[in-house]
Amino acid sequence: MSRFSRITGTGSFLPPRRLTNADLASELAAKGVETSDEWIVERTGIRARHFAEPDVYVSDLALHACRRALEAAGRGAGEIDLIVLATSTPDMVFPSAACILQHKLGVAGCPAFDVQAVCSGFVYALTVADAMIKTGTASKALVVGAEVFSRILDFSDRTTCVLFGDGAGAVVLEASDVPGILATDLHADGKHAGILCVPGHVSGGQVTGSPLLTMDGQAVFKLAVGVLEDAARAVLAKAGKTEADIDWLIPHQANIRIMQSTAKKLKLAPEKLVVTVDQHGNTSAASIPLALDVAVRSGKVKKGDTLMLEGVGGGFTWGAVLLDY
Ligand code: UT7
């Protein structure tokens, strides 16, 4: 009998501090940085984002999301035998945020590690966990995306600081006799590393280079639009499906224009696109599981629906996961 993996529960968490575009614009104006609600909405679709308080870490946001996912799956943390956490903003250089999360969940022993693929992190993490379940290495995994991008934003750079937010999303992924995850497709091209990066590194007792995010927005935009269509087509072909089989497109939530363009290229009705970027901003590795959980809890996504998850971001990395929920 074949062994597959299947999502049995979802959860998410947003830190309580919510800033609308107007709130952020007035904070930035006090620092001499000019922006507006109108510009942000028109160019990105973002209306609000959440920022964590300074003493809150990625593992804290992840913990809340995981507890909700475990509850939805009807599982206790002690039943989990794998933790994969996608993040680019871990609590510390090491140990991994996944290990810290494991301890906060009150468990020990199971493998726990971080996946670093920036905004593609969740589709990378889901692919790794799916493979580990299919090979019998694990049978009940927590797959998490969590970020505190507010920590790495340059609030004097209006071209980037209005785009990102903090949050976490998680799924419980379990071994199953029926799929589940139908196909996955991952890619990277390191020659584009410089267009979206935080170049600083810890060296000789200090941070060498800038510890803040820099991005060539237009270069990222152009690459994203192309590779998202390619990844979607590749994963459909691997699964022997067509665009018509997709019930919901849940792409990385970076910019509504990129998301709508992908939906259009796949000839999907606009209602099939799950959108949370308006309320969350770009939460990097957290954006897809956050959007998935919102869609599940609002009743949009139902058992048996076919979902196309797609990530794209720094690295350059991109990929897609097609699954039956
Ligand atoms: O998560 C990883 C994936 N990341 C992405 O997908 C991001 C992809 N890129 C984008 O979403 C878009 O390129 C941005 C939203 C970042 C920028 O949108 P754009 O339409 O490419 O704008 P632009 O960079 O061409 O800037 C247009 C104008 C410029 O002014 P001038 O030179 O035309 O006078 C900018 O200085 O908008 C100005 N501008 C702003 N104005 C008000 C840039 N940022 C702001 C701002 N508020 N926050």
pLDDT in tens, 261-309: 999 999 999 999 999 999 999 999 999 999 999 999 999 999 999 999 9
In which element (H, E) is residue 201 found?
A: strand 201-203
The answer to whether residues 170 and 257 belong to one domain is no
Of all protein residues, the one whose alpha carbon is nearest to atom 20 of ligand 1 is 43
Residue 146 structural domain: 4-178
Distant-in-sequence, close-in-space partners of 136: CB < 8 Å, separation ≥ 6: 3
At 175, the amino acid letter reads A
Report whether residue 288 contacts ligand 1, using a CB cutoff of 6 Å: no
The answer to whether residues 212 and 268 belong to one domain is yes
Q: How many whole angstroms from 253 Cα to the centroid of ligand 1?
A: 16
- pLDDT tens, position by position, 117-128: 999 999 999 999
The answer to whether residues 158 and 244 belong to one domain is no
- Name the domain boundary from 143, 178, 213: 178
Q: What is the pLDDT of residue 257?
A: 97
Partners of 20 in the beta sheet?
48
- Name the domain boundary from 121, 154, 178: 178
Flag whether pLDDT at 1 surpasses 80. no
At 71, the amino acid letter reads E
3-state SS, residue 8: strand
Q: What is the pLDDT of residue 151?
A: 98
Burial class for 171, CB neighbours closer than 10 Å (0-12, 13-18, 19+): buried
Q: What is the pLDDT of residue 190?
A: 98
- pLDDT tens, position by position, 187-222: 999 999 999 999 999 999 999 999 999 999 999 999
3-state SS, residue 254: coil
Q: What is the pLDDT of residue 273?
A: 98
Question: Residue 252 catalytic?
Answer: yes
Could you say which of 21, 119, 161, 255 is catalytic? 119
Q: What is the pLDDT of residue 246?
A: 98
Give which of 150, 144, 143, 153 is closest to 166, Cα–Cα: 150
189 close to 319: Cβ distance less than 8 angstroms: no
The answer to whether residues 158 and 187 belong to one domain is no
Question: Residue 66 catalytic?
Answer: no
The answer to whether residues 52 and 168 belong to one domain is yes
Burial class for 293, CB neighbours closer than 10 Å (0-12, 13-18, 19+): buried
The answer to whether residues 201 and 93 belong to one domain is no
Report whether residue 153 contacts ligand 1, using a CB cutoff of 6 Å: no
Of all protein residues, the one whose alpha carbon is nearest to atom 3 of ligand 1 is 313
CA distance 68 to 234: 32
CA distance 105 to 170: 13
- pLDDT tens, position by position, 157-191: 999 999 999 999 999 999 999 999 999 999 999 99
- Name the domain boundary from 178, 208, 237: 178
The answer to whether residues 86 and 43 belong to one domain is yes
Q: Could you identify the atom of ligand 1 that is nearest to the CA of residue 162?
A: 48
The answer to whether residues 107 and 234 belong to one domain is no
Give which of 117, 322, 134 is closest to 234, Cα–Cα: 322
For the chain, the average pLDDT equals 97
The answer to whether residues 153 and 246 belong to one domain is no
The answer to whether residues 37 and 153 belong to one domain is yes
CA distance 24 to 35: 9
**Total number of domains constituting the chain:** 2
- pLDDT tens, position by position, 226-268: 999 999 999 999 999 999 999 999 999 999 999 999 999 999 9
The answer to whether residues 201 and 134 belong to one domain is no
Give which of 87, 143, 142, 141 is closest to 118, Cα–Cα: 87
CATH of the domain at 111: 3.40.47.10
Residue 257: phi and psi, rounded to 5, are -70, -40
Report whether residue 119 contacts ligand 1, using a CB cutoff of 6 Å: yes
In which element (H, E) is residue 73 found?
A: helix 58-73
- pLDDT tens, position by position, 102-160: 999 999 999 999 999 999 999 999 999 999 999 999 999 999 999 999 999 999 999 99
Model confidence at 4, pLDDT cuts 50, 70, 90, reads very high
The answer to whether residues 30 and 128 belong to one domain is yes
